[in-house]
Structures are given as structure tokens and as C-alpha cells.
């Protein structure tokens, strides 16, 4: 199944009071395996960046001044998201900003039933534990040493690793393929950039050849006092 892991950076906490999305980063996964396909964009929020928000993600008014408006990038973002489930950490926050931006440019919202919240998953698995992305990365040994400030694509990459751990760990990709080729042989599955391909191989010959049977009989004949030749042997 295709899923999109995503994260946003914003000017604040509440899109209903004028805060805007300034960055989005998306990671494509198939069968809980990252394919290498991503979507990343910065947006001009058409408002000043509060100093407190800039301290978190480092995105200044000057940096964002020449970036496109969300409305200019909405079509390609929607195309990348498709109809896949969307995974985010504290997902109601990111969904709130994404849907507000879609509303502002006259597009329909993303259905909330597509939302998968990794905070909710972690709360069930680790009740009472700290549930921040940093704390959960530490719990699962996910390297975040290169994360100096928040960044949507970087945080989405960390979240993708966390999501794998929360939903079964790295053994998830060890399942056998259950599809069959027309000839009846089993296929081995592997993930490429944006799709899962299957390589089908014909079954190997497992029965012994006439030469192998003759050599085996010759070998058996050389064995002295074989147990299976004793009277009453069940072998």
C-alpha cells in the first residue's frame, strides 16, 4: 500500500487566526518501505515571520520573500499526495494547516479519514512516555544528529523511520511474496523508486538425476555392516 509521510513548518500554531504554512516535506512509502520519491516546497506566507517561529525552523522573511504562493504549487502537491493515507506526527496540526491552505485557494480539503497520527500510535505503544519526535527517535535509536533546526523534509524522513518502528519495525519487509506468475512460480519482491516490481523465476529441478542415483547406489554398496541390513531393523 502506498502511504505518504509528511511534515509542515508554519508561522505559528493556529491557521484559523492567520498563521500560514511555509514549508511542506513529503516521503513516499510502499509497503512501509521508502521508495526515494519525495515532494518538498517552501511558500511565501504573505505575512511577517514571528521571531519565535523563526527560531524553531530558521525560515526568515528574506528567505521566503521570493518563494511561490501555496496556490501556485497546490496542483503538483495534490498530484503527489494522490489518494494515499497521510501520516504525520500530531497529525491534526498538519492537516489543519494543509486544509486551510487548500481552502484559501479554493480547493477541496483532504478527508480526515486519510489521517494517520504517529502520536496516537506511540501513545498506545508507550503509555505515559514522552511522545515528541525527538524523544521517540531517541527511544528507537534513530539518528537525528544532523537535525539542528526543524525542517519539513528532514522531519518527514525521521518520521518515516519512526513510523516503520511503530508499525512492526524493520522486519516488515521480510514477508514472502504471495503473488504467482502465470506459470505458477513464486515471485520475489523488491521496491524501486516509485513502484513495486516482482521478478518471477521458474522452479528449480529438485529430483535426483539418473547419474546421481547410480552414484548413490554405488556409495551405499561400499558401506560394511550397514545398520539397515541387520535383521529386524526398521530403517
pLDDT above 50: residue 69: yes
Q: Answer whether residue 115 is part of any domain.
A: yes
pLDDT above 70: residue 145: yes
Q: Which residue segment(s) compose the domain that 204 sits in?
A: 176-230
- Do 71 and 132 share a domain, yes or no? yes
Q: Residue 117: CB partners within 8 Å, gap ≥ 6?
A: 87, 88, 89, 90, 91, 92
- Averaged pLDDT score across all residues of the chain: 85
Q: Answer whether residue 96 is part of any domain.
A: yes
- Do 86 and 199 share a domain, yes or no? no
- Do 98 and 152 share a domain, yes or no? yes
Q: Answer whether residue 66 is part of any domain.
A: yes
- Do 124 and 183 share a domain, yes or no? no
pLDDT above 90: residue 155: yes
Here the CATH number for the domain that contains residue 24 is 3.30.420.10
Q: What are 119's three cell numbers?
A: 502520536
- Do 207 and 145 share a domain, yes or no? no
The H or E element containing residue 8 is strand 2-10
pLDDT digits (tens, 9 = 90+) for 190-224: 344 444 455 566 666 667 778 878 888 888 788 87
Average pLDDT in the 117-127 region?
96
Q: Answer whether residue 117 is part of any domain.
A: yes
Question: Which of 174, 194, 211 is where one domain is finished?
Answer: 174
Residue 175's pLDDT is 47
Q: Answer whether residue 121 is part of any domain.
A: yes
- Do 86 and 196 share a domain, yes or no? no
Q: Answer whether residue 235 is part of any domain.
A: no
- Cα separation, 203 vs 75, in Å, equals 47
Question: Which of 130, 154, 174 is where one domain is finished?
Answer: 174
Residue 96's pLDDT is 98
The 8 Å CB, 24+ separation contacts for 191-195 are 191/30, 191/31, 191/33, 191/35, 192/35, 193/35, 193/36, 193/37, 194/28, 194/35, 194/36, 194/37, 195/30, 195/35
Residue 203's pLDDT is 64
- Do 151 and 184 share a domain, yes or no? no
Does residue 221 or residue 14 have the better pLDDT?
A: 14
Nearest to 44 by CA among 63, 64, 18: 64
Q: Answer whether residue 144 is part of any domain.
A: yes
CB contact at 8 A, 38 and 51: no
- Do 203 and 120 share a domain, yes or no? no
Task: Count up the domains in the chain and report the number.
Answer: 2
- Do 113 and 63 share a domain, yes or no? yes
Residue 206's pLDDT is 64
Question: Which of 135, 155, 174 is where one domain is finished?
Answer: 174
Catalytic residues: 150
- Do 194 and 160 share a domain, yes or no? no
- Do 13 and 101 share a domain, yes or no? yes
- Do 104 and 220 share a domain, yes or no? no
Amino acid at each position: 500500500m502506498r502511504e505518504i509521510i509528511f511534515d509542515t513548518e508554519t508561522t505559528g500554531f493556529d491557521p484559523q487566526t492567520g498563521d500560514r504554512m511555509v514549508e511542506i516535506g513529503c516521503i513516499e512509502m510502499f509497503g512501509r518501505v521508502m521508495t526515494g520519491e519525495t515532494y518538498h516546497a517552501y511558500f511565501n506566507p504573505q505575512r511577517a515571520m514571528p521571531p519565535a517561529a523563526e527560531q524553531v525552523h530558521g525560515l526568515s522573511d528574506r528567505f521566503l520573500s521570493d518563494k511561490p504562493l501555496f496556490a501556485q504549487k497546490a496542483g503538483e502537491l495534490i498530484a503527489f499526495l494522490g489518494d494515499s493515507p497521510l501520516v504525520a506526527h500530531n497529525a491534526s496540526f498538519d492537516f489543519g494547516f494543509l486544509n486551510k491552505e487548500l481552502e484559501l485557494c479554493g480547493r477541496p480539503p483532504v478527508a480526515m479519514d486519510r489521517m494517520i497520527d504517529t502520536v496516537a500510535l506511540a501513545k498506545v505503544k508507550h503509555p505515559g512516555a514522552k511522545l515528541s519526535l525527538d524523544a521517540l527517535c531517541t527511544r528507537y535509536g534513530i539518528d537525528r544528529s544532523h537535525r539542528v533546526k526543524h525542517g519539513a523534509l528532514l522531519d518527514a524522513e525521521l518520521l518515516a523511520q519512526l513510523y516503520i518502528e511503530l508499525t512492526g519495525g524493520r522486519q516488515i519487509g521480510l514477508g514472502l511474496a504471495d503473488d504467482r506468475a502465470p506459470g505458477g512460480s513464486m515471485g520475489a519482491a523488491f521496491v524501486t523508486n516509485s513502484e513495486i516490481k516482482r521478478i518471477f523465476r521458474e522452479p528449480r529441478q529438485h529430483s535426483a538425476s539418473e547419474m546421481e542415483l547410480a552414484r548413490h547406489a554405488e556409495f551405499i554398496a561400499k558401506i560394511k555392516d550397514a545398520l539397515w541390513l541387520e535383521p529386524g531393523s526398521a530403517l
